[in-house]
Structure formats: structure tokens, C-alpha cells
Structure 1
Amino acid sequence: MRSRFVRFQLRDLLLIVVPVLIAVAGATWFTIRFAHPAPPDKLVLSAAASGSPYYHYAERYRAVLERNGVKLEIRESGGSLANLKSLSDPGSGVDAAFVQGGLALNNDTHGLLSLGRIAYEPLWVFYNGSTPLERLTELKGKRILVGPEGSGTSSLALRLLAANGITNETATLINHELPDYVDLLAKKEADAGFLVLAPEAKTIQRLLRTPDIHFMSFANADAYAQRFPFLSRLVLREGVVDFAANVPHSDTTLIATTVAVVVRESLHPALVNLLAQALQEVHGQSTVNEAGEVQLFQSAGEFPTANDPEFAFSDEARRVYRSGAPLLQRYVPFWVATTVDRLMISLVVLVPILIPLLRFAPQIYDWRIRRRIIHWYGELKRLEAAAKSASTSEERTAKLRDLETIEAAVDNLPIPLGFADRLYQLRQHIELARRRLTVAAADDAAAARS
């Protein structure tokens, strides 16, 4: 009897618990799969040509990401403008890219987020001749190298020249690759040339040491910074490039843009967070680049910036720059931390499901037990109704046998202890029905004898 009772109780529990577990498992799977999927194990970053500063930055990021189990694929490109176009093309497969400041105005930036600016990119204007140049307006009528067609350098040069009234109608604007500047200026095949490069770049170093080639000190640098929010005023101090040769020969004022790391808005937040950590590690503390050279215009803690004048800024990156890596990632590997994070988010979805389930499960269990007792009450009621229409002693005796069948079934009914009172009430009602049938049968017998 006890084993039978345990078996029935176990079945009742399973009929309630199993659907609850299925609902919880389904909600968990849906949340993890769709609401908060696992981050990809690969990120594609568009840099520039191999050997460029952008490419070297990307290689340093790769070391940080691979340390956390994420592969970084670095793609070569034609520069910032090509990078921006790749980011805007959903079919390019590019997740992140370096973008030079000043390119957002004439390009679609919808769906893109900045992780901050990571370095200055000075604008150099080299020129031939002994007469010092201090303003871009002085380049009217000159032959001017403006960088490769469609490049970030060309875009910035044309924009600044246009602001000074210099166009193809008032000067000869020449598109050319940057490494060729040295020979073109040295041979006087061009009068001036725009470059957007770091001071340690090979082309800049060659031009700084080429006789009869000079570079402009902007007299109105502050005006450019005020007019164009993505520009800054920098000062290259006397002799800082080469103390022995005293390069430059005097303090020189430059204007500079900054380079941003931009990602797709759809990039998984965990990868955005990890990439922001890489930016902070690579650019946040040291002012020495990967070649061991001091970055002249950067001070420790200046980059990466927690804002951007052209792109919407990533909340994930802002959290990293404000508070550092997420708490879990400081103690456990990246993938463990993201898995725990996903499970925590799953709980947010599961709690509204679990509360009503846990609330109604006991009620469902109670209903199932009461339903067994109510079933036999129904049988008892039907028997009494049939007994009222019985007219002979034999019919009433048959109803008593049916009542005994009901009583035997109730005696074997598996009912938990908490519902025992209802079971005993049912037995009392069975006994009451027996008395009525017995009295009615006795009356029928007496009537028959008389």
C-alpha cells in the first residue's frame, strides 16, 4: 500500500515539476540563444597598409584579444576613407576600423559607434622656397600635393583648402601617394604637400631632413580648432625631433586631427567591451609606440578619449574607461565571465516566468488531489440518485454492493497526509449513504412481510 501511495505521489509531482522544468529550460534556451547570444570568437578590424601605424596598433590589439580567446583578423585597406566605407557596408564583414577625424561629415555614420580617439595625427604642410608660409591662403596659385585620391589625407586637405578659398580653379591640386612626396618636392615638381602622419613616420622623417624643404607653422591654428571640432592645436618644440641637428629649428605650431576606433552598432557588447579594454591597455598608459619611439604629442592617460566629436559614443567603452574591466573579468577568463553574465541576464527573463509557476504549482497539486476525492463524491451522488428510484429489495441490495465497491476504492485511494481530513469526510458520507440504503431496504422487507 505504501509503495503504491509513493508511486502515485511521485507521478503527481512529476506531472507538475516536469512541465515547469520544460518551461524554464525553454525560456533559458531562448534567452541565451536569441535575447543574449554568445559573443563570436572572431573580430575583423580594417586597418591600413601593412607597416602603417594603424596596422601596428591592430597587431597590439590582437595580442590582447587573443589572450582572452578572441581571434582578431586584421585587414589591409587603402586608409581611413576605405575603412569607413567598409563599416557602412553590411556585406563587407568588417566589425571595427580606424577612422581619421574629419571624415564623418560627408559620409553615412548611421549604425556606427566610436570607442574613442586613440592618437593625434598632425597635419603637415611641407613646401619649397625660402619664404616662410604661415597661412593656407598663401598657397593660391601653387602646385599642391593633396594625397592619394579618396584618402583621408586628401579629404582633409581639400576641406581645409576650400575653407581658404583654394580649389582646382585657384591652384593645381595633385593626387599622389605619400612616399613620393619627398622626391616630388625635392625635384621642385610640386610647391607644397599635405600629409597626415605621425612625426615618427618614415616619410615625415625624410622630409624633415631634406634640404630646402620646410614645413608650415600655422599662425591661426587656434581658429582651425575652433572652426573644426575634430582638430586640435599642437606645438612641436624646437629640437624635439633631432637635438643634434636642431630639428625643428624653432617651436612650430601644427594642427592635428585624431584617429578613432569605430565599430558597428550591432557588434556584440562583450566584444565591444573587450576591444575597449585593448585600447585602454595599448594607448592608456605608455607614450612609447611599438618600435620603442616616444610619441611626441601624447601624454599618459590622454588616450583613449571617453568622447567623440563626430560619432555616437559606445556606452560599453565609456563604462570601461570609467570603471575598468567588468568585475568578473578581473578574476576569471573572458569566456567564463561572459557565460556567467548571460546566465544572469537569463534570470531576468526567467524570474517573471518562475514566480507565477511557483505560485500556481502548489495549487495545481492541490487540485489534482482534490479531484480524486471529488470523483468518488460524484460516484456516491449518482448511486444515491439511482437508489431513490429503486423499488424492490433486490435493487437496493445491489446498490449496497455498488456502495461497497466505492468504499473499497476509497480505502485504496493514495492521498497525502495533508488531505486526510477530506478522505475521512468522504468515508463518513459513504457510511451515511449505507445507513440510508440499509434503512430503506429494511422498510421494503417489512412492507413485503405485512
Structure 2
Amino acid sequence: MKDALKVYGPLALLALASIWLALSLIDPAPPRKITFASGGSGGAYYSLAQQYKQALSESDVEVEVLETRGSVENLDLLMAGEADVAFIQGGLAEPENREKLRSLAGMFHEPFWVFMREDVGADDFGDLSDVRLAIGPDGSGTRALALDLQETWGGDWTDKSRRSESGLAAASALKAGDLDAAAFSASIDAPYIEELLQTDGISLLPFERAPALARRTAALDEVTLYRGILDLENDVPAQDVPLIASVAQLAVDEALHPAIQSLLLEASENIHSGNSAFAPAGTFPDKSLIDMPLSSEAERYWKNGPSFLRNYFSFQVANFLERAWVFLIPLITLLIPLVRVAPPIYRWRVRRKIYVWYKDLRELEARGREATTNDQRDEVLTELSKLQKEVGELDVPLSYTEEVYHLRSHIAFVRQLVQGLYSREAGIPAVKTA
């Protein structure tokens, strides 16, 4: 055991040191916690962020969901490094955002609804420039998109056409006659959207030039609210309505760990790939409907899918192996010859414990042959007895016992030789010994 430890111990220490060095050089592990900027607690962004939180928790990644006022605040949080990932409404990114932030893909349509009282008599969005139009508060994606569209239509838009009511409050004010029109960037599932679609005296403004608007901005898309999609029996809506829709994209800080990005992309396929009122199943996620650069990890993912190891291992194990293999393969290549040389070294160490005695044995044989007196021969025989005793106490593995007995028989042979010289000097026949 001592010999094995002396041989294999240093090799084990070398292997552990090499593994420690390799692990210290590999890319850092992904964070165990990320921050997700969503939206208001009653909105689609917040609800979807909760689904991502649940999906990532299965891979032991904690997601802190931040309640925000919407896309503009989400952009600010990402730029300030206070959020790692966020939903961003398409069409809002500025050049400075595109330098620092990256998109994983467009995830779902977010129609731009403009409801108006029928007595307004507008046929086009530009006709609302001097009516009481609510476009949401500062920091909301609805307001940002509405202001962009007002600029696109041109003309003079009065302050009353840029009122800040939003959501349920704007819908209630519209029904009460306190507003002439209200704009919303919201899911069709929002309760006030469905209610307004079925309210007498309130009509949905169509965007007849939606295809042209979609061509102007990468993250805007033309969609159609099909006749009867909300209520076939009552024919709601009563006709197809062309709309413009921003595409909500999942944006991340450029420095977010690629493994976390990949995990978000895996979750996005389960969350957003289903059928919706505005897109058939499989339309989303869509890497083309974005207005920020696609992250390099997203490019790899949409080209090749999840990594090979991710198909067979959990996220944490797969990620470790993906980070470590670059160093572990050459490390294993280095350790193979070291492991192979260990057994010969071990055998040499054990045999050396036996063979080292042959030097003493040859010296004693030479002294015995050269001895000219009985006292000199007695001294050699005494040392041979000590040698025989010490060899008998050798601790070697059982498989090497035969070589120990060979040594002991050779010691006995030298003893017999010296005794024969002793007897011949005295004129006495030599006594054979075993």
C-alpha cells in the first residue's frame, strides 16, 4: 500500500491540480438569479414573465420579476444594468439601445388598438389630430408608438390628442364620453379590449395602410382581426379589420451569460409557439421581426437548436460540460500517458526493494572468496545471516513473493559457497546445506 501511495499519490495530486487549474480557466458559470423587467401586474408582459419564471425555476435559475410601467421603462432598466432581460415593444429601440442590447427574437403580436366614439367620424388615424385621444402615460410603449405614428402621419397634433389615460381607466372614460378616442397596445385577451369591441357606439379604427407601415419598421407587422373571431354566433367583429401590430421582443443585456439566453430561448418556444388570434401556431418566436441586433447565442440557437448535451443532461450539468470540455479533453490526453506509466513505476519500486540486496550479496560473495582466514570467513557468514534475516522481513505484495524466495535461495547459495571454502581450507569435506 505504501508503494502504491508513493507512485499513485503524486499522480492523483497532479491530476487534481490540473483539474483545478482547468476549472479556474473555463468560462464563468451562469448566474443563479436574473432580473426580468415586465410590465404592470395586470398586463400581458407581467403574466408572461411569470411563465418564464416558472420555466427557468425548473433549471434552478431564480427569476425576479420587476413590475414596470412598460417598454420604455424596461429599456431604461436594461441600459442601466438593473435588469437582465425584458419585454420590449417593437419600434422603440434607439441607436444607443442597439449598441448595448440584443434581441433573442420577436415573441408575439401586440396590436395597436384605436377605439373611437362613432360620432367622431374618423376614417384614418390622421383624422384624430384634434380630438381628445388618450395614448397612455410617459414611459409606456403605447404612448411611444402613438407619438411615432402621429409623427408619421404629420400635421399638427394638439395636446388634447396626447392625453395620458390608459388601460381600464381610458376605456371607462371613452365609454363615458370623456374621451373621443383611446389607443392601446395590448393583448386581445385584455378584458377592456373585448368589452370595447362589443360596446355600442364604440368602433375600432382600421389601419388600411398597415402593410406600408409594417415595411417602414422592422418590428411592426400587419395583422387582421378576422370577422367573428371573438364571437362567431354574434358576429364580433362584424367584418375583417386590418391593424398594425408591434412585435414584442425579448431583449437582453449584451453581457448576459449565453447559457441563460439559451434557457430563455428554450422557454420561449414553449410559451409563444401556440396558435393566437393574429398568427397561426409556429409563427413565433420569429427572429426576423425585431429592431435590435440578434444576439450571437440566439443566432446559434435558431440555427442549430439546443446544444447536443442539453438534449441528454439537465441545464446545470450540460452547461458545466460545455464549459469544461475545451480544457478537460487536453487534460485527459495529458493524463493518459501519466496513468499508463504508473504501473511500470510501481513494479520497479517493488522490485527495487528486492534487487537492492544483490549488491550486498555480491560484495559478501567477493569477500568470502578473497578471505584468507577463518575469522574473515566467519565475519562473512555472520553478515550473510543478518542479510537472510532482513530479506525475510521484506514487506512486498503477494505477487512478488517468488522473487523474494529467489533472493533467499541465492543468499543460501553464497553461504554454501563460503562454507565450502572454509571446509576446504580446514581439509574437511564440505557439508551440503539446503
The alignment's TM-score, normalised by the length of structure 1, stands at 0.67
Alpha-carbon separation, structure 2, partners of 1:29 and 1:215: 65
Aligned to 1:372: 353
**What secondary structure does 2:97 align onto?**
coil
- 1:182-197 alignment runs, 5 A limit: 182=171, 193-197=182-186
Tell which deviates more after alignment, 14-23 or 431-440: 431-440
Q: Aligned runs of 1:126-137 on 2, under 5 Å?
A: 126=115, 129-133=120-124, 136=126
1:219 matches 2:208: yes
AA partner of residue 251 (structure 1): D
Aligned with 1:108: secondary structure? Answer: helix
Q: Which of 132, 141, 158 matches 2:147? A: 158
Tell me the CA shift for residue 81 of structure 1. 2.6
Q: Which residue of 2 aligns with 1:120?
A: 109
In structure 1, the partner of 2:430 is: none
Choose 139-148 or 11-20, whichever is displaced more. 139-148
C-alpha spacing 1:78/1:327, structure 2 compared with 1 (3 Å)? same
Q: Give 2:69's aligned amino acid.
A: G
Asked if 1:314 is matched to 2:298, the reply is: yes
* In structure 2, C-alpha distance between the alignment counterparts of 1:46 and 1:325, rounded to whole Å: 30
Contact 1:114 1:308 (8 Å CA) reproduced: no
- Establish whether residue 79 from structure 1 lines up as the match of residue 60 from structure 2: no
Q: 1:262 to 1:376 in 2, by over 3 A?
A: farther
Q: Find out whether 1:100 has 2:85 as its counterpart.
A: no
- Match for residue 204 of structure 1? 193
Q: What is the aligned partner in structure 2 of residue 360 from structure 1? A: 341
Say if 2:38 is the partner of 1:47. Answer: yes
TM-score by length of 2: 0.69
Distance 1:338 1:184, change over 3 A: closer
Residue 176 of structure 1 is matched in structure 2 by: 164
| Residue of structure 2 equivalent to 1:16 | 7
Choose 402-411 or 229-238, whichever is displaced more: 402-411
Name the SS of the counterpart of 2:280 in structure 1.
Answer: coil
Q: Does structure 2 retain, via aligned residues, the 8 Å contact 1:43–1:71?
A: yes
Q: CA RMSD in A?
A: 5.2
Q: CA deviation at 1:122?
A: 1.0
Contact 2:26 2:324 in 1 (8 A): no
Is the Cα contact below 8 Å between 2:135 and 2:165 reproduced in 1? no
Deviation of 1:22 (Å): 5.2
1:357-391 CA-partner distances (Å, limit 9, x unpaired): 42232133134225435644665688899999999
Alignment deviations for residues 161-203 of structure 1 (CA, whole Å, 9 cap, x no partner) = 444556xx76546351313434666688776654311233234
1:304 aligns to what?
Answer: 285
Unmatched runs of 5 consecutive residues or more in structure 2: 427-434
How many residue pairs match? The answer is 415
1:255 is aligned to 2:244 = yes
After the TM superposition, which residues 341-356 of structure 1 pair with which residues of structure 2 at under 5 Å, given as runs?
Answer: 341=318, 348=325, 349=328, 351-352=332-333, 354-356=335-337
Shift in alpha-carbon separation, 1:17–1:397, aligned structure 2, 3 A:
same
Amino-acid identity (%): 31
Cα distance per residue 1:71-124 (max 9 Å; x no partner): 65433111123233334444x3x4543222223444536676655333210123
Comparing 174-183 and 145-154, the one that deviates more: 174-183
Q: Give yes or no for contact 2:59–2:316 (8 Å, CA) kept in 1.
A: no
Conserved 8 A contact 2:369-2:418: no
- The AA in structure 1 aligned to 2:105 is G
Q: Is the 8 A contact 1:118 1:279 kept in 2?
A: yes
Instruction: Indicate which of 266, 271, 281 corresponds to 2:270.
Output: 281
Larger deviation, residues 297-306 vs 211-220: 211-220
Q: 1:115 to 1:31 in 2, by over 3 A?
A: farther
